[in-house]
């Protein structure tokens, strides 16, 4: 009880703090900068800084201050940092959130303090339902997965084995793919791999013996390389089993280091560094230049668009945070490096094109080359609920 009144008071302070003209507008960026998911944090931080560098640090006559905090990929740390940022730093908006549990932990704080939270990475479908102040600029796994199932069904694939890491997003991907693919008359066998087990050999052997037309895979991007190597080591690439999945396994950040084992993998996702548009060319070039040649991945584009959403929202509200800001963000649309995107006013989730891509070698480097587009995909989980 005491805690609640305390938080309420904190929220009031946060609001009045953000509204006064002399104070800079503070954006709290909470990311895993160390630990196993540090690459997510690095990408998003670099993208957010790039956006500020390109678009200046003044919005609606107020200075923008970016506060980056490291939650090490642990949910209770995220929550503590969010509370500190809201109470002590009086931030106008928080952003970041590398993984699903990290986005869910501070959701009640966002609601109580009426501070908008921009999710730039975490991809479980239900996150935006956790608080009316959450808005997302990354993607949802079902959003990237259902088009994969449809593409597979249209391209002569009848029997698929799925292999996912046994945690929230993995199960999300498995369910979305299985229901979409069986609805089209396909056959699916499900396998789940423990998250902490990098030796895939028994699972891959099971796949080899089942002889499906394609293997659908979702693993967190860090261990994607490990998976690809073992897929090839087991000779599955030569036995005619296609490798398909949402784009996490061929993450742009790591793809080039995987070597030729990744060639030919077919994935669906919302962003590839090889996306052919002037906006993307400029983005990739500037990002590489600012970050020592590091290639932006789907995390970076989520961070970049998240900053764009915050900037444009603040312009619309003339620097006001809270309810006004989240209302301003709803329905906003713009052209991102990934293509045209908008924020669904009902679900506060992003609506975007999903691309079907194949790993190919271009100018000596491996890229996800897009060859088909499914325009304006909404998150299928929430779309199914509202019908």
Partner 1 sequence: MLTILFDGIAYGMLLFVLACGLAVTLGLMNFVNLAHGAFAMAGGYVTAVLMNRYGVPFLLTLPLAFLVPALAGLVLERTLYKQLYTRSHLDQVLFSIGLVFMAVAAVDYAMGSQQQMIRIPTWLQGRVEILGIQVGLYRSFIIAVCGVLVVALQFILTKTRFGSRLRAAVDDPRVARGLGINVSVIFAATFAVGSGLAGLGGALGAEILGLDPTFPLKFMIYFLIVVTVGGTTSITGPFLASLLLGIADVAGKYYVPSLGAFVIYTLMIVVLVLRPQGLFARAR
Report the DSSP beta bridge partners of residue 357.
267, 370
Rounded distance between C-alpha atoms, residue 106 and residue 116, angstroms: 11
Assign 3-state DSSP to the chain and report helix, strand, coil percentages, each to 5.
45, 25, 30
Per DSSP, the three-state class of 184 is coil
Rounded distance between C-alpha atoms, residue 130 and residue 110, angstroms: 10
CB closer to partner 1, 64 vs 299:
299
Give CA separation, 200 vs 48, 189, 233, 256, in Å: 35, 17, 11, 21
Tokens of 38: 């540090």
**Smallest distance, Å, CB 116 to partner 1?**
30
Q: Does 297 bind partner 1 (CB under 8 A)?
A: no
| Interface with partner 1 (CB under 8 A), residue from 235, 240, 345, 375 | 235
**Smallest distance, Å, CB 232 to partner 1?**
8
**Smallest distance, Å, CB 203 to partner 1?**
6
| Binding footprint of partner 1, residue count (CB under 8 A) | 32
CB closer to partner 1, 43 vs 317:
43
CB closer to partner 1, 199 vs 276:
199
Q: Does 229 bind partner 1 (CB under 8 A)?
A: yes
Residue written as tokens 């949910």? 75
Q: Does 222 bind partner 1 (CB under 8 A)?
A: yes
CB closer to partner 1, 187 vs 197:
197
Listed ranges 2-10, 122-130, 222-230, 291-299: which one lies at the site for partner 1 (CB under 8 A): 222-230
Listed ranges 3-11, 122-130, 218-226, 288-296: which one lies at the site for partner 1 (CB under 8 A): 218-226
Q: Does 160 bind partner 1 (CB under 8 A)?
A: no
Query: Which positions from 20 through 59 interact with partner 1, judged by CB under 8 A?
Result: 34-36, 38-39
Looking at the chain, list the stretches that DSSP marks H as alpha helix, in order from N- to C-terminal side. 2-19, 38-55, 75-87, 100-104, 107-113, 141-154, 168-183, 201-210, 224-233, 252-258, 278-290, 298-317, 322-329, 380-386
Name the DSSP letter for residue 147: H
Q: Does 259 bind partner 1 (CB under 8 A)?
A: yes
Rounded distance between C-alpha atoms, residue 280 and residue 339, angstroms: 8
Residue written as tokens 């509370």? 83
Residues 360-379: x/- map of binding to partner 1 (CB under 8 A)? --------------------
Interface with partner 1 (CB under 8 A): 34-36, 38-39, 191-192, 194, 196-199, 201-203, 205-206, 208, 222-223, 225-226, 229-230, 232-235, 254, 257-259
């Amino acid at each position: 009880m005491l805690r609640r009144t305390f938080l309420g008071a904190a929220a009031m302070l946060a609001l009045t703090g953000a509204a006064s003209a002399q104070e800079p507008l503070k954006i709290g960026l909470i990311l895993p900068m160390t630990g196993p998911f540090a690459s997510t944090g690095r990408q998003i931080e670099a993208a957010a800084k790039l956006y500020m560098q390109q678009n200046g640090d003044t919005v609606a006559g107020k200075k923008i201050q970016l506060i980056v905090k490291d939650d090490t990929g642990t949910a209770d740390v995220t929550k503590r940092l969010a509370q500190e940022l809201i109470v002590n730093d009086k931030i106008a908006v928080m952003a970041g959130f590398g993984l699903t549990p990290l986005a869910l932990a501070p959701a009640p704080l966002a609601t109580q303090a009426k501070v908008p939270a921009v999710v730039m990475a975490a991809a479980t479908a239900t996150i935006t339902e956790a608080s009316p102040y959450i808005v997302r600029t990354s993607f949802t796994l079902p959003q990237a997965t259902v088009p994969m199932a449809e593409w597979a069904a249209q391209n002569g694939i009848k029997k698929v084995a799925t292999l996912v890491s046994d945690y929230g997003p993995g199960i999300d991907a498995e369910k979305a793919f299985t229901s979409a693919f069986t609805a089209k008359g396909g056959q699916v066998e499900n396998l789940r791999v423990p998250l902490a087990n990098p030796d895939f050999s028994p699972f891959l052997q099971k796949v080899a013996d089942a002889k499906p037309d394609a293997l659908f895979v979702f693993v967190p991007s860090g261990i994607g390389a490990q998976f690809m190597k073992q897929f090839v080591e087991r000779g599955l690439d030569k036995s005619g089993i296609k490798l398909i999945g949402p784009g996490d396994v061929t993450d742009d950040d790591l793809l080039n280091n995987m070597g030729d084992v990744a060639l030919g993998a077919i994935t669906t996702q919302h962003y590839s560094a090889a996306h052919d548009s002037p906006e993307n060319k400029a983005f990739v070039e500037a990002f590489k230049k600012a970050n020592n040649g590091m290639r932006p991945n789907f995390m970076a584009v989520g961070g970049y668009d998240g900053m764009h959403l915050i900037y444009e929202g603040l312009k619309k509200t003339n620097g006001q945070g809270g309810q006004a800001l989240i209302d301003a963000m709803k329905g906003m649309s713009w052209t991102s490096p990934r293509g045209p995107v908008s924020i669904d006013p009902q679900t506060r989730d992003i609506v975007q094109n999903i691309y079907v891509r194949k790993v190919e070698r271009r100018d000596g480097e491996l890229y996800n080359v897009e060859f088909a587009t499914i325009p304006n995909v909404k998150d299928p989980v929430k779309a199914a609920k509202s019908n």
